[in-house]
Amino acid sequence: MPFKPVLLWTDLLLWLLVAGTAIYVWYCYRRPHLAAPWGRVFQSRTAIASTVVLAAFVGMTLADSLHFRPRIGSGSEGAAQYSNEVLSVLDVAFAYLRERRERTYSAPLATRLYAKDQIESSTGAPTRDYPKLTYGGAHLQDESAHGRDIALRAGLGASLAVAAAFLLSLLRRRLSRWRPNVPWSAGLWTFAVLLLLTVPLLVLSTGYHVFGTDKVGQDVFYQSLKSIRTALVIATLSTVTMLPFGVLFGIVAGYFRGWIDDVIQYLYTTLNSIPGVLLIAAAVLMMQVYIDTHPQLFPTAADRADVRLLLLCIILGVTSWTGLTRLLRGETLKLSQLEYIQAAHAFGVSSARILGRHILPNVAHIVIITLVMDFSGLVLAEAVLSYVGVGVDPATISFGTMINAARLEMGREPIVWWSLAAAFAFMLVLVLAANLLADAVRDGFDPRVRVGSVPV
C-alpha cells in the first residue's frame, strides 16, 4: 500500500460526530414535528448564508481529518516502511504550499524577501539587497511583469468563479421547486461571493505566497487553512464532551429534586466558582506535566499534539457544562409539574422512561440552542488560551499560535502584518457565521418567539 492510514483520536471523534449528525438529520427529516423548527430556521436568509460559509469550513476540516503516513520505501525484509510524518488529505491537496518554504518573512504576493541580505550580484560582487524568493514569483522571467501576472491570475480566478457561480445558479429553480420556503438565492449569492474570494486566491497561490510567509518561511495561507481544523475541533468536540454531563445532571436534578438536586447544585456552583481561565489553566498545566513525564505513551509528535488537543477539548467541556445544566434543571423543574408528567406517574411509568421519553425531547430545543451559541465562544477562547500558554500544542497550527507568533513581530519596521490579518479575516468570517446561525437557530427553536409569529 502506498500509505498507511492513521486514525487520530480527534479524527475518530469528528467522524463519529458527522455520523451522529447525519443520523439526527435523517431522524428529523422523517418526523414533521422535529423538522418544523429547522424549517423555521432556514426560512431566514442569514441562516442560509451562514450555513454555506460554515459548510465550507467544515469541508476543510473533514479534508484535514483523513490522516495517513506515506510510504517511503521497503525495509530489509521487504516490509513497507512508512514516514514518521502524519499527513492529511488537505496536506496532499496543498502540498505545493506546504513544501515551498522561503527563508523567512515575505510580504503577500511578494517576489522578494522582507529583509535585506548579502547577495551576489551578476558580476560576483556581494551587495546588500532584498534577495529573490525561492518560490514566490519564481516563474516570472522578468520581475517587471509582476503586477501584470498577478492581475492576470486574479482575473483568471475571478472568471472561473463567475462561471462556476453561473452554473450553480441554474440549480436555483430546481431547489425552489423542492423547498419553496427556503430563500435559496441568499445561499447561492453567498456561495458565489465565497467562490469569488477563494478561487482567485487559489489560482494566485500556485505562483505566489498570497498571504506572505512567516518567520520560518512557511506559507501563511496554508497555516490559515490548517487552523480551521483546530478551531472547529475545539468548538465541536468541547461541546460534545460537555453534552452528556450537562444533559444528564440537568434533567436528573430537576426531575428528582431532593438530595440529588442539592448534590448536583453544589457540584456546579463549586465548579462555577473557579474562574474559567484559571480552572482551565490549572488543568492544562497538570496535563502538560503528565505528557512531559510520560513521553513513552506518545510515539509520534502528531500523536502528542493530537492527545493534547483532545484533552484540551475535554477540559473545556468539563469546565463549561454548568451553564447547560442550570438551564436544563430549571426547565425540567417546570416540566415535571405539568399534567402529562403527573399522568405518566399515575400510570406507573418508570422514572427512567419518563426522563427519556417525556422530559428529554421537550428540553431538546434548549440543548440545541446552547450548542450553537457556545460554538463561537469556544473558537475565540482557543486564541486567548493559546496566548496565555495553555492552549494547543505549540507545534499545532491554530489561530492562537498564529496570532501569538505574529504579535512578537509588531515592533518591526516595516510592520509584519500579514499573519495577523489572515488570522483576523478567517476568524472573523468563521465566528460571524457561527453567531448569525446561532441567532437564527435560537429564533427558530425558542417557543417564546414562536407565539403569534410564523404559522407552522
| Interacting residues toward another protein by CB under 8 A | 266-267, 269-275, 277-279, 281-283, 285-286, 288-290, 292-293, 376, 380, 383-384, 387-390, 403, 407, 410, 415, 420, 424, 427-428, 431-432, 435-436, 439
Backbone angles phi, psi at 340, to 5 degrees: -70, -30
Task: Closer to another protein by CB, 181 or 269: give it.
Answer: 269
- Cβ atoms of 444 and 451 within 8 Å: the answer is no
Based on CB atoms, which residue is closest to another protein, 160 or 271?
Answer: 271
Grid coordinates given for 446: 425558542
Q: How many CB atoms lie within 10 A of CB 362?
A: 17
CB-based burial of residue 280 (10 Å sphere; 0-12 exposed, 13-18 middle, 19+ buried)? buried
**Residues facing residue 71 across a β-bridge:** 82
Between residues 168 and 277, which has the closer beta carbon with respect to another protein? 277
> CB-wise, 169 or 435, nearer to another protein?
435
Minimum distance from residue 222 beta carbon to another protein (Å):
21
- Coil, strand, or helix at residue 138? coil
Alpha-carbon gap, residue 407 to 382, rounded angstroms: 16
In this complex, which beta carbon is closest to another protein, that of residue 28 or of residue 380?
380
Q: Which H helix or E strand runs over 23?
A: helix 9-29
Buried b (16+ CB within 10 A) or exposed e, 110-123: bbbbbeeeeeeeee
**Least distance in angstroms from the C-beta of 269 to another protein:** 6
Q: Can you tell me the distance from the alpha carbon of 138 to that of 4, in angstroms, rounded to the nearest whole number?
A: 34
Q: In angstroms, what CA-CA distances link 125 with 62, 261, 378?
A: 52, 82, 55
- Residue 249 CB: number of other CB atoms within 10 A? 24
Nearest distance from residue 240's CB to another protein, in Å? 23
**82 SS3 class:** strand
In the complex, the smallest distance separating the C-beta of residue 267 from another protein, rounded to whole angstroms, is 8
**Shortest distance in whole angstroms from residue 432 CB to another protein:** 4
Picking from 319, 320, 309, 236, the residue whose alpha carbon sits closest to that of residue 282 is 319
Beta bridge partners of 87: 68
Nearer to another protein, 7 or 395 (CB): 395
From the CB of 275, what's the least distance to another protein, in Å?
4
Measured from the CB atom, the residue of 319 and 396 that comes closer to another protein is 319
| Least distance (Å) between residue 283 CB and another protein | 6
Beta-carbon contacts of residue 45 (< 8 Å; ≥ 6 apart): 183, 186
Smallest separation, CB 246 to another protein (Å): 18
Q: How far apart are the first and last CA of the chain?
A: 55
Per-residue DSSP letters for 346-394? HTT--HHHIIIIIIHHHHHHHHHHHHHHHHHHHHHHHHHHHHHT-SS-T
Cβ of residue 333: shortest distance to another protein, in angstroms? 15
State the minimum distance, in angstroms, from the CB of residue 46 to another protein. Answer: 10
